[in-house]
Amino acid sequence: MKLLRVLAALCVIPVALPVLALLPAAAAGSGDLWPHLLRFVLPQALLESILLLAGVGMLVVTVGAGCAWLVSCYRFPGRKLFTGALMLPLALPTYVAAYAWLDVLHPAGPVQMALRRALGITDPRAIPLPEIRSLGGCVMVMGMVLFPYVYLAARAAFQTQGADALRAGRSAGAGGWLLFRRIGLPMARPAIAAGTALALLETLNDVGASEFLGVRTLTVSVYVTWITRSSLEGAAQIALLLLLLVGVVMLLERQGHRPGAHEAAHPARPELQPLKLPAALAATLFCAVPVLLGFVIPVAYLVWAAWQRIAQFGLPPDLGQWIGNSAFLAGLATLLALGCALLLAFTARRDRTAAEPGRAGVMLLRFGMLGYALPGGVAAVGLIIAFGGIDAALDPLGHWAPPLLSGSLAAVVLAYAIRFLAIPAGGLEAAYARLRREVDWSACAAGAGEARLFWRIHLPLLLPALSAAALLLFLDAMKELPATLLLRPLNTETLATALYAEAARGTYENGAIAALMLVLIGLPPILLLAMARRFFPAEAQPGRGLRMALAAGLPGMARPRKP
């Protein structure tokens, strides 16, 4: 058992490595750059980050909780279609959606050109459409992509909360908005808080959409300070400030679980109430708009732009290399994270089922899942500093050998594994929570050691959860942009970095194929969820179901049921 804990501790050390490396680098100062950052960069970046978080948070709560309430409690035209379709925006990375909307609303894009033809206008500035390159445009784009986090969590809560409470509320004369505000919303508050926290963490991790749409967030500032000004110290200081925002988001999520949050004792689903024609049409429109803005329009544009590019120039010659690099890096990260997650989850399980239950394994598992809350840019800067120090220690004279870790594929793979370790760890913890501890006791009583217990009993039972986690982890790693931008070796392009490069050059049509490939990569798990009869187990608590389905793994979002 002690060996298991030691090995599990070694698995979580890389999660702490980026943060531990940031602290001394930030304390070292950044010379003449720090006063410039403090005066001109940080105030604006912090303000725009807070405003972006506030806007995205309000939008995802309004759209996600509202759509979840409608499809869970009412009958209206298109309800069955929207139940699954409202998850589709999760297939789009935020930077892909921003990339598509930039060209859709560009003066030379399809929308403005169609309007000018219809109205007989030749001046491209004559049609005053809202400016997409703005804070409001960024809130709209990111909110329409990230609201399914809240939708999935809230829908699980609405479908597993007490139908008796809703029936009693209707009997007392409550309906519509009053029923939602007084009964539905308090019951779903922990789930909504969990989904909102996930959406806000994705917002803080984003660098592509914010930069494309002209919003200088702290994440963008980290990237610019390192790449443009070559200041690791300045990037480390901004990264620590970004971590403070992450801590605030996680604290707010914890508040959603404070005593007094209502949770239902019975998982009976609420009865669907038919809506009259005006309300039914309004409900259909309310659910249709997010699907159109968050998935249908950007994907339709990408298909059209990719077809135009292929018809004129053929496929990009480097497309196969981009896909190969993405798959290779994501595959290595998946294997590394799965191995660490299995060790962490098994150690936590043995601690829980021991004759004298301990907490060391559980705490290591929880700590390992903290990597999901670490933005990719922060992890990348921390790893650059840490690997630079390791390389300097291995070659103190600085000329005997090329850097072993800095600028290597190993740095990218480790960053992916740190960032997404929570996916398999959360899924395996949830799977173990449904495995009765008597299984372990019976095997141990029959003389099975820990190795035999894991390989012959646990692993076959964990394969479904492990397979789902591997798929989600691989696809998320394929789409990761901030860490890849900062850590990739020279002349190594992935689908995400190739798209970013085309957008930075303003050649949007050339990046449409890479963007469409990223969308196709993200569709399989979303379609699997949409086609499933049951998204969440009946015993799932609000917020826990979201992590089991999306394997987000935030601490506090789920508490395993005691066997």
Q: Of 6, 21, 9, 15, nearest to 385 (Cα)?
A: 21
Distance CA 388, CA 17 (A): 12
Distance CA 52, CA 492 (A): 32
CATH architecture for the domain at 31-316? Orthogonal Bundle (1.10)
Query: Which pLDDT score is estimated for 55?
Result: 95
Query: Which pLDDT score is estimated for 549?
Result: 37
Q: Are 554 and 369 in contact (CB under 8 A)?
A: yes
Distance CA 136, CA 133 (A): 8
Q: Of 89, 284, 67, nearest to 155 (Cα)?
A: 67
Q: Are 273 and 67 in contact (CB under 8 A)?
A: no
- Which residues make Cβ contacts (< 8 Å) with residue 293, sequence separation at least 6? 140, 144
Per-residue exposure over 351-370, b if at least 16 CB sit within 10 Å of its own CB, e if not = bbbeeeeeebbbebbbbbbb
Distance CA 514, CA 516 (A): 5
If one counts every other C-beta atom within 10 angstroms of the C-beta of residue 340, the result is 23
Torsion of CA 490, 495, 497, 500, to 10 degrees: 150
Query: Which pLDDT score is estimated for 396?
Result: 61
Tell me, rounded to whole angstroms, the distance of Cα 496 from its chain centroid: 15
- Which residues make Cβ contacts (< 8 Å) with residue 280, sequence separation at least 6? 76, 77, 274
Q: Are 152 and 550 in contact (CB under 8 A)?
A: yes
Query: Which pLDDT score is estimated for 551?
Result: 37
For residue 274, which phi and psi values (nearest 5 degrees)? Answer: -70, 140
Query: Which pLDDT score is estimated for 552?
Result: 32
Q: Where are the domains of the chain?
A: 31-316
Distance CA 157, CA 558 (A): 13
- Angle made by CA atoms 188, 194, 200, in degrees to the nearest 5: 130
Distance CA 337, CA 333 (A): 6
Distance CA 363, CA 207 (A): 31
The two counts, helices (H) then strands (E), for the chain are 27, 2
Can you give the pTM of this predicted structure?
A: 0.84
Cα R_g (the chain), whole angstroms: 24
Query: Which pLDDT score is estimated for 557?
Result: 36
Which residue has tokens 């996916």?
Answer: 423
Q: Look up residue 465 and give its two tokens.
A: 């959860």
Going by their DSSP bridges, the two strands 273-274 and 74-75 should be labelled as: parallel
pLDDT tens series, the chain, 563 aa:
677 778 888 888 888 888 888 888 777 765 566 677 778 788 889 999 999 999 999 999 999 999 998 998 888 999 999 998 998 998 889 999 998 998 888 777 788 788 878 877 777 666 777 788 899 999 999 999 999 999 988 888 777 765 555 665 565 555 666 677 767 677 778 888 888 988 998 999 888 899 889 899 998 888 888 877 777 788 888 888 888 888 888 787 776 655 444 444 445 566 777 888 888 999 999 999 999 999 999 999 999 989 988 888 888 888 889 999 999 999 999 999 999 999 998 888 888 776 566 678 788 888 888 888 888 888 888 888 888 888 777 766 555 555 667 778 888 999 999 989 888 888 888 888 877 777 777 777 777 777 778 788 888 888 888 888 888 889 889 989 888 988 888 788 999 998 888 887 777 667 888 889 988 888 877 777 666 544 433 333 333 333 333 433 333 333 334 43
Query: Which pLDDT score is estimated for 246?
Result: 87
Per-residue exposure over 429-466, b if at least 16 CB sit within 10 Å of its own CB, e if not = bbbbbebeeeebeebbeeebebeebbeebbeeebeebb
What are the DSSP calls for 45-94, one per residue? HHHHHHHHHHHHHHHHHHHHHHHHHHHHHEE-TTHHHHHHHTTGGGGS-H
Distance CA 43, CA 295 (A): 34
Kind and range of the H or E run holding 178: helix 177-179
Distance CA 208, CA 217 (A): 11
* 3-state helix, strand and coil shares in percent for the chain, rounded to the nearest 5: 75, 0, 25
